[in-house]
Amino acid sequence: MKRVLILAITVLSAGDVFAAQPDVAPPYQPADSELAAIRAKLDELQKAIKALPVRRPISTLEAMTKKAVQIDESLLPDVEVYAKAAEWMLRYPKEEFWTAADVKNTLDTIALGLARVKQLADGKPSWPTAKGCLVRAFRSRIDGSVQPYALKIPDIYDGKKPIRLDVILHGFGPTLNEANFIAGRDTGKPATAGQDYIRLEVFGRLNNGYRWCGETDVLEAMESVKARYTIDLERIVLRGFSMGGAGAWGMGLHYADQWAAFEAGGSGAGGSRNDYKNDAPSSAQAAANRVYGTVGWMLNAANVPTVGYCGEEDSPIGALNNSREQLAGEGFKFTQEGLNWTTKDIRCVFLVGAKTEHKWNPESQAESNKFIDEACVKGRQPPAHIRFVTYSLRYNHCFDINVDGVESSYSRTEVDALTSTDKKQRTLKTKNVTRLILPYPVAGQSISLDGQPFPFQPIQQPRPQARAPAFGARPVPQLPPPAPPQILFEKKSGKWSMAYLTDAVLQADKALRKRPGLQGPINDFLMDSFVCVRPTGTPLHPLANDYAKAAVDRFAKSFSKWLRGDIRVKDDTDMTKDDIINNHIVVFGDPGSNGVLAQIASRLPIQWDKLHVRVGKQRFDAKEHLPAFICPNPFNSHRYLVVNCGDNLLGTRELRTTIALAWQQLADYDVLKLSKDASGEIKGTSVAQGLFDENWKVAEK
């Protein structure tokens, strides 16, 4: 979507999610000689990486003579990330060098990369078992880019006993980039004295508030650490401050069943784009904003130990109070103790630092640490009474509860699940749910769902009989019993029915409906792998085609700068079956100019031809209008098709000064009216926005 859709920025009030940042000073301009020195060393590093003998099949003779050095391919991102950091500095030489120190940081980063390349070439990489402060990386499934993360490994870690993991979300940094992220963290210094956990600080793809690509970055960094270190999966803690605090509220509440505890500092739950605009959002925008305005998700704090913190004199104190008041409105009683608020109803505390601005008060930090340490003693535990709320099927589960369909997307959806003390009865009440998946009840447990009883018998599944081994043969291990099926509850005409369900059956279900991971809105495609498809054919109208081609270029530039990767772009004539199987497809153009669109135009929820763009009962002149929307890909019902959308970011100044407006909150579809300005640039102005219904059809309401 183009920037003409963005209206004036309003002044942020005391109730905002986090404080607006001051405008940035002009960046340092490196001399040509400094840039040449960086380029020369970067070329050296890139050549050294290219020369590494990546793991390959070797002959017995090679193995015996030890002439073959096998490089573990999983370690390559740990090397390539140093080259990536320097490469991005050179991409933006007038924007990313903030002080003269950044020149040194970049050269130091390359030197660290060269040292790791040598270790790999010698077959003696030391960093996988190193302690203290270091940086590692992973290759993202979104775009194939390498993304860094920082670790502090304590001396007590031995790789044998599972260890607690604390995931840290950094605050907003207008001068942040890969080079200074690495330089400040890959120091080799020992971890903090007394630290008994691994500390993971994610890069988060810069300053996007940990949404979309930034959220996936957190999840992928965690998976990388789990694969490389022995992590106690029941003792993972999420922590963040300022922008990181806003991210902790969002991810803490969206994934409430993943954490032993989470801590959100210098922020309150909230933070959708239209909270900060001086225009009234459309009804579709307002609905989509419920996904990101996390105050409405506060009920999920009932399922995970939660710390909210703000300084008494910090502007987000109002947002923190709103978060607590939302929980009070859900029925939990809080008691004020000094400046703090506590409750006995759930494991949740709101801390306020006396006479403190935008930082941690030491006493409050100590209280939070104590609270989290106590939560980690118990570890991640499903409560007997789960109270789950969601506004999106993207975040559809809490422990063993999985919402698989709703009556109305972006509306408040609830599951209240209470298990009796003897665990023989489970009572569930739902709101806005049409499909609910539960595990097979244990020990003959009975289920009551919205007043309907569903008794179950205890599981009696005999083990498969293994044949006796022949005389002298090794004993054949007894096979484990098959896993019990899941239970699908489906509501039609106000009544629930029940059926058994396997993962294979669920995966084979190709019904056209909104489902977890395939529910919109438009920006949701940024959470997974995607390929942009450029038009090469004859357009229905040149204005729309010129706009679409320019949109691909704008998307590539903004994604590189603000999301630290390169989008994959292919011509429509070069698309392959594997591209469609493995990726969301972001298609630009119209059914005349884009061959991919031409093949499926009749199967899309919005259609257009040479005369009209048809959106439900509405008609728009195709000469000057272009639709942008998201829906399931007719070629692959488990992936998105996104049409004419990608450039969703704000202008440079806004993204450098505050992330409160970092994203447009787009709905399921938009219609743009196109026009050329005095300079000849084609602008797109939104004239219609809306939501698709649960079957991916235009909702006429």
Q: How far apart are CA 55 and CA 66, in angstroms?
A: 14
Q: Which amino acid is at 367?
A: E
Encode pLDDT of 278-299 as tens digits. 456 788 888 988 998 889 999 9
pTM over 0.75: yes
Residue keyed to tokens 């530039």: 557
pLDDT at residue number 671 = 95
Look up residue 649 and give its DSSP letter.
B
- The number of residues making up the chain comes to 701
Q: Is 480 exposed, middle or buried (0-12, 13-18, 19+ CB in 10 A)?
A: exposed
Residue keyed to tokens 């919205």: 450
Query: What does each C-alpha distance from 484 to 151, 456, 607 come to in angstroms?
Result: 39, 12, 44
pLDDT at residue number 10 = 25
Q: Domain 32-378 has what CATH class?
A: alpha beta
- Name the β-bridge partners of 238: 167, 262
Cβ-contact 462, 478 below 8 angstroms:
no
pLDDT at residue number 484 = 72
Encode pLDDT of 390-444 as tens digits. 999 999 999 999 999 999 999 999 999 999 999 899 999 999 999 999 999 877 7
Q: Is 485 left (phi over 0), alpha (psi -120 to 50) or beta?
A: beta
Give the tokens for residue 541.
């109208």
pLDDT at residue number 71 = 83
Strands (E), 379-520: 385-390, 397-398, 401-406, 413-419, 425-431, 433-439, 446-449, 452-454, 486-492, 495-501
pLDDT at residue number 294 = 87
pLDDT at residue number 592 = 96
pLDDT at residue number 687 = 94
Cβ-contact 536, 587 below 8 angstroms:
no
Convert 82-109 into a string of H (helix), E (strand) and C (coil): HHHHHHHHHHCCCCCCCCCHHHHHHHHH
Q: How far apart are CA 637 and CA 508, in angstroms?
A: 10
Q: Is 700 helix (H, G, I), strand (E, B) or coil?
A: coil
Nearest to 550 by CA among 595, 597, 523, 588: 588
Please state the domain extents for the chain.
32-378, 385-455+484-508, 522-690
Cβ-contact 152, 205 below 8 angstroms:
no
pLDDT at residue number 241 = 97
The list of the chain residues with pLDDT below 50 reads 1-22, 57, 272-276, 278, 462
